[in-house]
Structure 1
Amino acid sequence: MNHHRLLIILLSLSAMALSRHTATAVKKIQSPDKTIEVTIDKNNMDIHYGNERNLFTVSASGATIDNRPASVDKWIVSSSSLPQNIKYEMTGGKRLKCSNTYNEYRLVADEKDNGTLSMVLRLYNDGVAFRYETEGDGNICGETTQYKIPLSCKRWMQQYDQSYERFFPEETGDAQQDAHWGFPALFELGKDSWALLTEAGIEKCHSASSLTAAETPSAYNISWGSPARCGHTPWRVIILGSLNDITESTLVTDVSPESRIADTSWIKPGAASWIYWAYNRGSKDYRLVTQYIDMAETLKLPYVLIDWEWDIMGNGGDINDALKYAAERNVKTLLWYNSSTAWTTNGAGGPLFRLNKLEDREREFAMLQDMGVAGVKIDFFAGDTQQTMEYCIELLECAARHNLLVNFHGATIPRGWQRTYPNLVSVEGVYGAEWYNNAPVLTDRAAAHNATLPFTRNVIGPMDYTPCTFSDSQHPHITTHGHELALTVLFESTVQHLADKPESYLAQPKEVQEFLTGLPTVWDDTRLLAGYPVNML
């Protein structure tokens, strides 16, 4: 062995040793393109972007492991990896072929924690993601993560509601002590520097989380929806960069587990006619349902969504007659179900209690598959608890076994399930057009609200806003027809549900009808041309 080769080997071994054992001196770590930098100072991570220094701070001071507090005084970088380049394909969403590159670091807690807690920290070119992990058989039962945002920053945040059906007004930096916000949360940090906070990678053992006010003004704590126990937390996601970077990012699916459905050829994007909006409850009327099937046939929409109370359908036919009528016209059917976890009494719509037990939903979904039903819309979930997350995932898994698409309503926001379970084609979790039925508030606020959603809720995954209403329902709308038509493209949903009544669409000019016939619901790519979130106050 010559001296030159020996020197290279010795240097390589020294570098490995530094990376694994003596890298405590490493304080600054970077994204692959070096635009994002994280400075680790004790248990704080200062976030930098471009020429903006120290935009905000993430305090990660500990967790609860098996009901035992595990505080962290200092994080130590124990190892790092070469840049990882990941490519994958989606069946829906803002981009069909996705790619991302990241640097991954493992941080270990100081000796005070006895070495049982670690953090996996990834720096992408468009953001930062991290999660806590435990060594061995320990389970994390809570965490003390806090985002410290400067008071001077503008922010667009939604007051927490378990259905995520609120507005995103521009907020001041003064945090109320009892305030509670849902994800995502958008912050303007500086000149062309933005951050959007959310989470991803929810598994059966996890609770979803949200943001609550901390004692320090403009600081936000991660708050779990319910107690949970798991060997790792979900990913805490910070999409970072320009407003273009925010709206175009796929970071939520980038950090989520890859697809668990081997054959996705049966998952077909498209538009659907939807009966509920114009009549509040109309799926029990067979003759009315057939009008929406006829509309789908005329406009060549692949789907019709038959909403609640189809189990008591009458006036000339029942659900079997409706399914037959649709099949004869080459229109695929989607059927509504009550999750039977949140609203089951006092007028709750049916069908009820058909999906809660494994054997019941297997039987129900097998029946739907045999009947040629293409998918289900499942409504009224019980918040962000661990039990609800487990139930939602089990529904997705069971539906996939029977080639059924899934649309969650009255449910939590997307947190990456659209990659792991691509049969999840849409999720409500948005203050959508349905609210024209419920209250007069949306009439005057819709235009501003719709101009804010592309930078907030729409960033993180499909949303079933049920757009494009030219006529009025219970409460009028004052947006233009052009505005309404644009929403079908602006808002992401693998199956886009058109909410207006048949006669309204069929009265539109030929060009509009042809546009709806050819409406794309998935995209090769997405680009922000221009825009800025509106101040709704």
Structure 2
Amino acid sequence: MKLLLLITLIALSASAAETVRSPDAKIIVTVELKEGRPLWSVTYGDNKIIHNGLLGVDTFSGSYTLVGTKTSAGDTTWKAVWGFLSTVRDHYNELTLELEETAATKRRLDVVLRAYNEGVAVRYVFPQQPGLKEVTVKSLLTEFKFGADHVIYSARDYQYGNATIAALKKSEGAVTVAVGGGNFVSLTDADRADFSVVSWVAKKDTPYTIVAAMHSPATGTLPFKTSWQAMVIGETAGKLVENRYLVENLNPPCAITDTSWIKPGKAICQVYNCRMVTDEIKKLMDFGSAHGFDYLEIDHSWSGAETKWTPEEIANFEKNKGPFWDKHPEWRDNVKGDLLKPAKGYVPFRPHSFQGGNYVDLDIPAIVAYGKSLKHPIGLCLYVRGALLKEFGGEHPIEEVFAHYEKWGVAGVKPGFVPPSSQKNERAIAYMVKKAAEHKLIVDIHDAFLPYGLCRTYPNLVNVEGLAGEEAEPFIPPEIKSLHDILLPFTRGIMGSFDYTPQIYKASKTHCHQVAMLGVYLGRASVRGGMKQWSPGGEGGAEIEFVEKMPGLTDEIKVTTDLGKYVTVARRKDANWYIASMSGPRAAAYQYPLTFLTPGRTYRASIYSDTPGGRKAIHTQQIVTSQTVIPIAMEPNGGHLMIVEAEK
């Protein structure tokens, strides 16, 4: 590790401009005080991206003098457990402005700016100081003040290139901006474990400006720091995705001493595959083991209703339930909000859903033991409704639940509907992931929580849903569905892993498109359905080879796109490449050169492409080299898969 620390102890003039550059000097951040207000500008090459945007927080008066600066530089590497890159370089230059209020209180605020080759970030630190023990931050004043009304891409309201900064709706996920010259930037937050989530909004009365709106105030004892507000920068849209690991680099290093128990891989869910019955789950494990899956997820209802029903809800269900439930009185024992034992018999879906339910007959220890006994072991992951955990308002302490699951030998948990956003909830989520690590449980958080790089500190956090995945498809306009798929890597995907959980196979998309999701999106891949479709007589075919062979941890990534038309993600593991492509609502055809292959070496390519006019995959093979150009042709809502293996 290289760490250089220089401290300027003298007070600097109010008009002096301070500069920090990225290690490759392509990105320049300039900060100066004008009339006591700190303003920043960011330039990428010849492209001035941010123009004199305001810096600061609402906590203090907003008028400062600069009393000192500190500069530092970091250059380290760290090993990832899963994901696009097995080795990540954390290389930056840092500038800290030590500000003091001009008001009589003379309170201190540090503005910390980092410049990476992959982008820039800013956070605010309240250092220890006389007369001030605690602060509350209600709003961040940082302005991302662009030079024009640029086109934006936001997954929250599907503003996919059809709006500009002025029309930006409140976005709880990252916002990507086309800043001219073919360059793109994406705004997101990082290191949020003790802060409020932010949403990105257009600032009223300030043209071309985006600011981060806090969900709710955040309070801390000094020294206290905000989350980072980060701007990932890409020379192209593809480079933007390749550079997104900036988010993890802004988080603390790994806190788990031994990560050998965290296995990168793929998961298959019982949903659309089988009932929650021990023998049926074992058969699904057999299928998963035979096809390279590493985990099996059992979703909601395995331990009963997702919430503990109130007496009023029970009485209402008694009054309105269908005759089916008269034959299954065990439902009363299955709505008590238990997380420590499986339900027995039928479980109602919801207090106001009076017809039908899930049947449960599970022996968890027996299932765990069976999965571990298989030639290719399968770990068991269990759904946990957040509302039942004490830290989120329920009755069961996280420690108690996770200790119980560790005793069972469970491999992981899938917390659902965990309340995010506020500082209190974000703290509780970080605590949950930490406790899971202590009990050797991987975590896949579903529903509204958004990632911020916590997976660097706790790599047992292997995936996050956050925004619209498979379960939201019925609510996405038909003309947007596959457009959403191909733009997720450039919007929500910049924040971190994304668990789309595709249902194998939906009629609206080709087989190659749905399998390609497992290669395009970051995170431990998972699917619903698949056993029937990929078994003899099923509608699927040999394209499962891509699922079987694609590793959960790769060494290199290359992203190619014509934004809004298609995306191709190539991932290298050792000498082999796994290349997944998806098209949007229109057919896409382009030439794809394999110039990233090692010159002079031959490879065997196993290729799956869309059937013209159909949904199924066509399989071909060919010998390729770095000189080969592959013609990729995809149907509307289509896909393309390649496994390129070096010949010995």
TM tier, smaller = 0.7 to 0.9
C-alpha displacement at 1:17, in angstroms?
Answer: 7.9
The 1-side partners of 2:100 and 2:278 are apart by 66
The 2-side partners of 1:384 and 1:419 are apart by 20
Task: After superposition, give the CA deviation of every residue in 1:386-405 in whole Å (9 maximum; x if it has no partner).
Answer: 12101101111111111000
C-alpha displacement at 1:429, in angstroms?
Answer: 0.7
Q: 2:254 aligns with which of 241, 250, 259?
A: 259
Output the amino acid matched with 1:426. Answer: N
Output the amino acid matched with 1:487. Answer: M
C-alpha displacement at 1:72, in angstroms?
Answer: 2.7
Output the amino acid matched with 2:154. Answer: M
Counterpart in the other structure of 1:527: 558
Counterpart in the other structure of 1:116: 108
- Cα distance change on mapping 1:27 and 1:300 into 2, 3 Å: closer
C-alpha displacement at 1:31, in angstroms?
Answer: 1.9
Q: 2:123 aligns with which of 123, 126, 131?
A: 131
The 1-side partners of 2:161 and 2:447 are apart by 24
C-alpha displacement at 1:318, in angstroms?
Answer: 1.9
Q: Does 2:143 correspond to 1:146?
A: yes
Provide the secondary structure at the position in 2 that maps to 1:526. Answer: strand
The 1-side partners of 2:362 and 2:281 are apart by 10
Provide the secondary structure at the position in 2 that maps to 1:46. Answer: strand
Counterpart in the other structure of 1:184: 174
Task: After superposition, give the CA deviation of every residue in 1:317-357 in whole Å (9 maximum; x if it has no partner).
Answer: 324354455444432100001000xxxxxxxxxxx347757
Provide the secondary structure at the position in 2 that maps to 1:169. Answer: strand
The 2-side partners of 1:409 and 1:308 are apart by 12
| Kept after mapping to 2: 8 A contact 1:213/1:221 | yes
- Cα distance change on mapping 1:218 and 1:323 into 2, 3 Å: same
The 2-side partners of 1:448 and 1:77 are apart by 50
Provide the secondary structure at the position in 1 that maps to 2:57. Answer: strand
1:223-234 aligned at under 5 Å gives the runs: 223-230=213-220, 231-234=224-227
C-alpha displacement at 1:221, in angstroms?
Answer: 2.6
Q: Does 2:471 correspond to 1:471?
A: no
Output the amino acid matched with 2:197. Answer: A
Task: After superposition, give the CA deviation of every residue in 1:58-113 in whole Å (9 maximum; x if it has no partner).
Answer: 3214331xxxxx13345738324353212111112221211132111111225425
Deviates more, 1:396-405 or 1:39-48: 39-48
Counterpart in the other structure of 1:49: 44
Task: After superposition, give the CA deviation of every residue in 1:232-269 in whole Å (9 maximum; x if it has no partner).
Answer: 10011111231243111211011101111111010001
Q: Does 2:477 correspond to 1:485?
A: no
Output the amino acid matched with 1:169. Answer: Y
Structure of greater relative contact order (alpha carbons < 8 Å, 6+ residues apart): 1
Number of aligned residues:
488
Counterpart in the other structure of 2:597: none
Counterpart in the other structure of 1:344: none
The 2-side partners of 1:313 and 1:503 are apart by 26
Q: 1:500 aligns with which of 520, 529, 532?
A: 529
Counterpart in the other structure of 1:163: none
Q: Does 2:198 correspond to 1:206?
A: no
Output the amino acid matched with 1:304. Answer: L
| Kept after mapping to 2: 8 A contact 1:271/1:521 | yes
C-alpha displacement at 1:517, in angstroms?
Answer: 1.8
Q: 2:230 aligns with which of 229, 233, 237?
A: 237
Counterpart in the other structure of 1:221: 211
Counterpart in the other structure of 2:323: none
Provide the secondary structure at the position in 2 that maps to 1:488. Answer: helix
1:26-425 aligned at under 5 Å gives the runs: 26-42=17-33, 43-64=38-59, 70-73=60-63, 76=66, 78-112=68-102, 114-136=106-128, 137-142=133-138, 143-159=140-156, 167-173=158-164, 175=166, 179-203=169-193, 205-216=194-205, 217-230=207-220, 231-243=224-236, 244-249=238-243, 250-276=245-271, 278=272, 284-286=276-278, 288-311=280-303, 312=343, 314=345, 317-320=361-364, 321-329=366-374, 330-340=377-387, 352-353=388-389, 356=392, 360-425=397-462
The 2-side partners of 1:316 and 1:198 are apart by 41
Provide the secondary structure at the position in 2 that maps to 1:100. Answer: strand
Provide the secondary structure at the position in 2 that maps to 1:505. Answer: coil
| Kept after mapping to 2: 8 A contact 1:489/1:520 | no
Provide the secondary structure at the position in 2 that maps to 1:412. Answer: coil
Deviates more, 1:99-108 or 1:441-450: 441-450
Provide the secondary structure at the position in 1 that maps to 2:85. Answer: coil
The 1-side partners of 2:363 and 2:217 are apart by 41
- Cα distance change on mapping 1:404 and 1:481 into 2, 3 Å: same
Computing the radius of gyration from Cα coordinates, the structure with the larger value is 2
CA RMSD of aligned residues (A): 2.8
The 1-side partners of 2:167 and 2:49 are apart by 24
The 2-side partners of 1:519 and 1:54 are apart by 38
Deviates more, 1:75-84 or 1:110-119: 75-84
| Kept after mapping to 2: 8 A contact 1:77/1:106 | no
The 1-side partners of 2:10 and 2:88 are apart by 31
Gaps of 5+ in 2: 304-342, 346-358, 567-583, 586-648
TM-score for both structures, normalised by structure 2: 0.70
| Kept after mapping to 2: 8 A contact 1:107/1:119 | yes
| Kept after mapping to 1: 8 A contact 2:144/2:210 | yes
| Kept after mapping to 2: 8 A contact 1:225/1:383 | no
- Cα distance change on mapping 1:258 and 1:373 into 2, 3 Å: same
C-alpha displacement at 1:228, in angstroms?
Answer: 1.4
The 1-side partners of 2:89 and 2:247 are apart by 12
Provide the secondary structure at the position in 2 that maps to 1:182. Answer: coil
Output the amino acid matched with 1:145. Answer: T
Counterpart in the other structure of 1:10: none
- Cα distance change on mapping 1:78 and 1:316 into 2, 3 Å: closer
Task: After superposition, give the CA deviation of every residue in 1:113-138 in whole Å (9 maximum; x if it has no partner).
Answer: 52411111111112111110112134
Counterpart in the other structure of 1:444: 479
Provide the secondary structure at the position in 2 that maps to 1:34. Answer: coil
Task: After superposition, give the CA deviation of every residue in 1:261-292 in whole Å (9 maximum; x if it has no partner).
Answer: 1110100011111123x38xx75455654443
Task: After superposition, give the CA deviation of every residue in 1:393-428 in whole Å (9 maximum; x if it has no partner).
Answer: 111111111100011001321101010111100000
C-alpha displacement at 1:514, in angstroms?
Answer: 2.9
Gaps of 5+ in 1: 1-14, 65-69, 160-165, 341-351
The 1-side partners of 2:80 and 2:395 are apart by 28
- Cα distance change on mapping 1:54 and 1:269 into 2, 3 Å: closer
Output the amino acid matched with 1:52. Answer: N
Output the amino acid matched with 2:181. Answer: K
- Cα distance change on mapping 1:519 and 1:241 into 2, 3 Å: closer
Output the amino acid matched with 2:187. Answer: L
The 1-side partners of 2:360 and 2:176 are apart by 50
- Cα distance change on mapping 1:18 and 1:425 into 2, 3 Å: closer
- Cα distance change on mapping 1:33 and 1:388 into 2, 3 Å: same
The 2-side partners of 1:512 and 1:115 are apart by 62
| Kept after mapping to 1: 8 A contact 2:136/2:217 | no
Deviates more, 1:420-429 or 1:95-104: 95-104
- Cα distance change on mapping 1:32 and 1:76 into 2, 3 Å: farther
The structure in which a higher percent of residues are strand is 2
| Kept after mapping to 2: 8 A contact 1:286/1:322 | yes
Output the amino acid matched with 1:318. Answer: L
| Kept after mapping to 1: 8 A contact 2:511/2:540 | no
| Kept after mapping to 2: 8 A contact 1:156/1:170 | yes
